[in-house]
Structure 1
């Protein structure tokens, strides 16, 4: 999570304000004309299928790892963020610009932050043909260092444009992008990029070894057979400790769904093998904001981790920006789903033109039996919004040893909220303050927690009936002040509950709370890791 290349990549993307939405054209006077760019140059065809790709990944794992080439790196390094942004794709050269299918595919150019060349191939009728890089596919200013690059240098990644016959101009809008290591993103139903997903996470936040970032080295884009709302892409993964073959069935509808099928082969032992990893940013929110840290009320791509356990329990873990790296494990068997969510959708809570209120929530739905393991949440300190500092992933219980092979399938939902919401009240805010009661001396070492719930059975409670809250702490003393009351805004089912916690020392405290009425559970379970200060 702390390697220089990834941090630089995130800095570049933040400066663009939205991943994949960089300008698609420059002024004619400054740009190279891509006359005839629509005619792609392709290598000779070779047999291709997903089974062939799986066998290639298996065979590759038996060979020593060879780091990807950095072609013409002395020139590529001159394409810093500013220079890289000036080199834009000419959409006349898009794959499927005239069909078949609804979604043209465009490419990212190499640059300082994306220096590894990735092979791009088109699949049709059981064969694949590599797309040859040509400068005519890009708008390149006359004074750009990119003009010095050799022929056929390759691409950095790709993105999928909006439908050719859709409601927005496909030349300027895209809905999925793959760029850097095994990172990819999709746009949510609110038309805004935000958090990322990865093909795999290797040794994230492991104390005695650096995190590893395997690369997607080849992408195979399948030629559509109709005008539906899906596009299929295959990818080969390679890294020092792992190889893999991936299939992505991507659907553009209300939001975006991506059905992922992959096999993995380990070259080396892995301490923390992260399946279906999600990577997001949480700087601060209404929970606890240091004085004058920034002028905006909140800054985050996600505000919580939602869990649906194998036993059916619904959990909400509010995110933290801790003072040290922490790892939380939620043990489970055959989980029904998990995701990093952005629940706060009020613009005035952010007051920012990059639209944090529209950032997508991402839900992972496992397919098949994932067995024993844990959803692990990694939280890393950050002092700025340019760093993705939160990772959520499934980690199998069995040790990940060299020679092991894995197969996982799952479906990602890039939406505004959970695709399968519980029939319970949900947590909508977590706030911390001084313990005790107003007008009286505040006891030292006591923290007050206020949690807001909304909807579900709370909306139909009989008049005069108040829910009870059940709260536990891993250490410390709860009380004596505990209150549950309706929020005075006239919104049915909007309640808040508060309690005090007295605790000594600085070790984290695990908190757990839910609302009930008699034997009936009314809310999902709120979880929080409190770091005394």
Structure 2
């Protein structure tokens, strides 16, 4: 594990006017190809220092927010999806292709919904090289593009990486607002990470921070990692990110983020992520679909600061649902795809079983005061949004600090884009949740399966296992436990009588005596 820094990044001795010039000129530079009026740190030909990205975020936070120009010329400003995917980079546009460095970068064109300009830079031998737009490095399908298109910048970039010595293939994509996605070996894209989350699901409206610039350090041959620096800008805050990406059977991204508020942030999300959930075995209400399930995450997994392992199945609700899981120094959380068999989905096109799980391990946080290891007090927040389409990322989770963030604060964490969560505790994991009509009235029948060795370990009598089961409000009736040693599975069967209540919070653990042998299953029932 990397160790969190013990102090805020040091302020680099910079020409303050140059920093402010770059801060004010970012939109102009990326959209029109113009350079600031005086040489600035982190611009073309300058020496690179990672601390300058943090300094730039600080300087930008002291200026009023200026939205980047969305000034795409014809024929790019109104592209359809089909037209946009017809725009492709030529081999000459790929950065570091053929150099044997294990990574290749493809600049992504602006257009369709990706209209915001983003400045891209390579850092080679310690010197910044701005990547300029050249229309001759793209093919445009059926679009008629004039020869004299000005420098319109880029919308982001796609990263290709060498997995286990193979030729470079899809590994990550940074495009749209402050969103990015990554893959482990053999996976297809699914859950989306967010560099910064502000005011989600609030009446005032969510604020979407934007990537404004990237600096990509040229990787050394055989290192197996690439370092990416990013500047994020928004009405309420700026941020500087340093991301170290290592592709593999689990792709690991170490993130060091410095957050600089313009105003006190009452509702800020750290290490946020979104995923699509249309339906599954738990909720097929109103679904007329031949497939068994359609989702890229089936639950929220948490390891809280008290050592409890939690599994919370996600749902496509009828109305917006917001849940907060209070915690102190969480050990990890993430949106997880546990169904890994084709039969779980029966989808020959989407292949949901290949979508990555995204697991977060907090490393530390620090600010103007005493350095702090861990993230302190707060909550893992879960938002479930009604959706009628599998393309909608309607499940959102993130860490929300208990106190507003009013001053510069930094967070570090590790992302695992993986098939299975690393370091799983020796407990039976929830392998299935099913809900259906109960025996009478409004009662609902639940069948919850836990699979693993723990309930069948030496010295444990499977027939003596017990359920620790609670609901608030509502009443539990007709509960029973079914152990299946041959399948290493325990099934909990019970009925919930909600009475006249419209929401019930359920909690379930399988125990051998006083000892938990399963993770904690949480569930919010709504009609």
Match of 2:394 in 1: 389
Distance in 1 of aligned mates of 2:461 and 2:265 = 56
Give the 5 Å matches for 1:280-429. 280-352=275-347, 353-368=349-364, 369-401=374-406, 404-429=407-432
Distance in 1 of aligned mates of 2:290 and 2:146 = 42
By how many angstroms is 1:166 displaced?
A: 3.7
Taking structure 1 as the reference length, the TM-score comes to: 0.86
Distance of aligned partners of 1:519 and 1:115 in 2 relative to their CA distance in 1, 3 Å threshold: same
Please give the secondary structure, in 2, of the residue aligned with 1:76.
coil
Distance in 2 of aligned mates of 1:320 and 1:448 = 17
Give the 5 Å matches for 1:106-505. 106-141=106-141, 143-147=142-146, 150-163=149-162, 166-167=165-166, 169-170=167-168, 173-207=169-203, 209-352=204-347, 353-368=349-364, 369-401=374-406, 404-436=407-439, 443-460=440-457, 465-479=463-477, 481-487=478-484, 490-491=486-487, 493-505=488-500
Distance of aligned partners of 1:67 and 1:73 in 2 relative to their CA distance in 1, 3 Å threshold: farther
By how many angstroms is 1:159 displaced?
A: 1.1
By how many angstroms is 1:445 displaced?
A: 1.2
Distance of aligned partners of 1:292 and 1:519 in 2 relative to their CA distance in 1, 3 Å threshold: closer
Moved more, 262-271 or 47-56: 262-271
The answer to whether the Cα contact below 8 Å between 1:140 and 1:147 also exists between their aligned partners in 2 is no
By how many angstroms is 1:188 displaced?
A: 2.6
Distance in 1 of aligned mates of 2:311 and 2:263 = 35
Distance in 1 of aligned mates of 2:163 and 2:303 = 37
The answer to whether the Cα contact below 8 Å between 2:431 and 2:451 also exists between their aligned partners in 1 is yes
Distance in 1 of aligned mates of 2:162 and 2:186 = 16
Distance of aligned partners of 1:325 and 1:146 in 2 relative to their CA distance in 1, 3 Å threshold: farther
Please give the secondary structure, in 1, of the residue aligned with 2:103.
coil
Q: Following TM superposition, where does structure 1 have runs of at least 4 consecutive aligned residues deviating by more than 4 angstroms?
A: 145-149, 461-464
The answer to whether the Cα contact below 8 Å between 1:72 and 1:149 also exists between their aligned partners in 2 is no
Distance of aligned partners of 1:313 and 1:152 in 2 relative to their CA distance in 1, 3 Å threshold: same
Task: Name structure 2 gaps, 5 residues minimum.
Answer: 1-41, 365-373
By how many angstroms is 1:473 displaced?
A: 0.6
Distance in 2 of aligned mates of 1:146 and 1:409 = 44
By how many angstroms is 1:149 displaced?
A: 7.0
By how many angstroms is 1:434 displaced?
A: 1.6
The answer to whether the Cα contact below 8 Å between 2:471 and 2:504 also exists between their aligned partners in 1 is yes
By how many angstroms is 1:113 displaced?
A: 0.9
CA displacement, residues 420-450 of structure 1 (integer Å, 9 cap, x when unaligned): 21110000111111222xxxxxx10111111
Please give the secondary structure, in 2, of the residue aligned with 1:136.
helix
Please give the secondary structure, in 2, of the residue aligned with 1:104.
strand
- State the number of aligned residues: 475
The answer to whether the Cα contact below 8 Å between 2:455 and 2:462 also exists between their aligned partners in 1 is no
Moved more, 66-75 or 237-246: 66-75
By how many angstroms is 1:108 displaced?
A: 1.2
The answer to whether the Cα contact below 8 Å between 1:100 and 1:224 also exists between their aligned partners in 2 is no
By how many angstroms is 1:107 displaced?
A: 1.6
Please give the secondary structure, in 1, of the residue aligned with 2:58.
helix
